[in-house]
Amino acid sequence: MNDVVSLLKAAQKLDEDALTAIFDQYAPAIYKYTLRLCHDPIQADNIVGDVFAQLLEQFAAGKGPRTNLRSYLYQTAYHLVVDRSRDNQHTAPLEVAVDRLDRGQLTPTQTQIEERVMMEALISAMNSELTDDQRHVIILRFLEDFSLKETADIVGKEVNNIKVIQNRGIAKLRKALGLQLEEM
Amino acid sequence: MSLETRDAEIARIFARLKVSETGYPPRLFDARRTEFKKRVSKTCLELECSIAFINLLKSKGSDNANHAC
């Protein structure tokens, strides 16, 4: 924790090593998060560039985060994704993950096949059943491990609102998974 | 299937997703990192130039003031 604080302090003074260390530490996670939302590797990479460019501009102007750098970076990424998705509607997110699961194994076991079906059902439900807000909240809470408060800060909503969005999203996923299980 | 089992199943799938998703392709990451480092150097240089320019203006200002005296 102290490392992050001292890194942040040094970065605020435009210490080049500290800024590079921040990039190394957070860029891969921001890329993954952005890819989950926008589904386009090139756009995700561009957004990573913009997130860190904005961070640098903020520090150069004597502004920027004083605490919780991770939330700040995700918040910037979130807003960039939302802004761009208004102009450019993409669909098809985490499917890449499913394709990677069986790689390296020629004959998947029955359990693996069932698991893959379940995962595809969940991913499909996340894409087609959830609203944008629900998808963002579920990703931040369960894939990025942010707290309710941090998630609320990132998407700019109240904690109670986040709880409602999360519960409704989970209810939809439960339903989708239940239907899938009935079919199996 | 009970609600708890279904939630456990969702949690398990999320856990699998976390580890299985594609990471940052190394070439993209390296290119972006290099670009960021260049941007940092450029920003630092610009700031240093601005500070030097302001200092120069200040010193010229005080020179003129001294002349006036």
Q: Where are the domains of chain A?
A: 2-87, 95-183
Please say whether the dihedral angle defined by the alpha carbons of residues A95, A30, B37 and B56, taken in this order, is positive or negative: positive
Residue B6 placed within a domain: no
Over residues A112-118, mean pLDDT: 74
pLDDT for position A21: 96
Q: Identify from B2, B27, B40 which residue to disrupt to test chain A contact, counting A C-beta atoms within 10 A and taking the largest count.
A: B40
> If DSSP codes are grouped into helix, strand and coil, which group holds residue A158?
coil
User: Letter for the amino acid at A98?
Assistant: V
* CA pair distance A173, A126, nearest whole angstrom: 7
* CA pair distance A48, A70, nearest whole angstrom: 13
A156 in B contact zone (CB under 8 Å): no
Kindly list the distances between the CA atom of residue B58 and the CA atoms of A141, B16, B25, in Å, as whole numbers in the listed order: 53, 61, 49
Q: Indicate the CATH number of A95-183 among 1.10.10.10, 3.10.100.10, 3.60.21.10, 3.30.530.20.
A: 1.10.10.10
B17 in A contact zone (CB under 8 Å): yes
Residue B66 placed within a domain: yes
* CA pair distance A45, B25, nearest whole angstrom: 9
Domain tally, chain B: 1
Q: What is the pTM of this model?
A: 0.77
* Average pLDDT taken over every residue of chain A: 84
Q: Give the CATH fold of the A2-87 domain.
A: Rna Polymerase Sigma Factor; Chain: A (1.10.1740)
pLDDT in tens, A130-152: 998 999 999 999 889 899 999 99
pLDDT for position B8: 79
Question: Cβ of B47 and A24 within 8 Å?
Answer: no
Residue B3 placed within a domain: no
pLDDT for position A165: 95
Spatial neighbors of A54 by CB under 8 A, at least 6 apart, are: A76
Distance of CA A169 to the CA centre of its chain: 16
* CA pair distance B33, B27, nearest whole angstrom: 10
B35 in A contact zone (CB under 8 Å): yes
Quickly count: other Cβ atoms within 10 Å of residue B3's Cβ.
10
Segments forming the whole domain that contains residue B30: 25-69
Which of B:44-63 have CB within 8 Å of A?
A: 44, 47
Question: Cβ of B22 and A100 within 8 Å?
Answer: yes
**pLDDT average per 10 residues of sequence, chain B (69 residues):** 70 80 89 95 84 76 57
Q: Tell whether ipTM is more than 0.90.
A: no
* CA pair distance A67, A93, nearest whole angstrom: 31
B36 CB neighbours in chain A (<8 A) are: 19-20, 23, 49, 52-53, 56
Say whether pLDDT at A112 is over 90.
no
Start-end of H helices in A61-158: 69-87, 95-101, 110-128, 132-138, 148-155
pLDDT for position B67: 55
pLDDT for position A96: 47
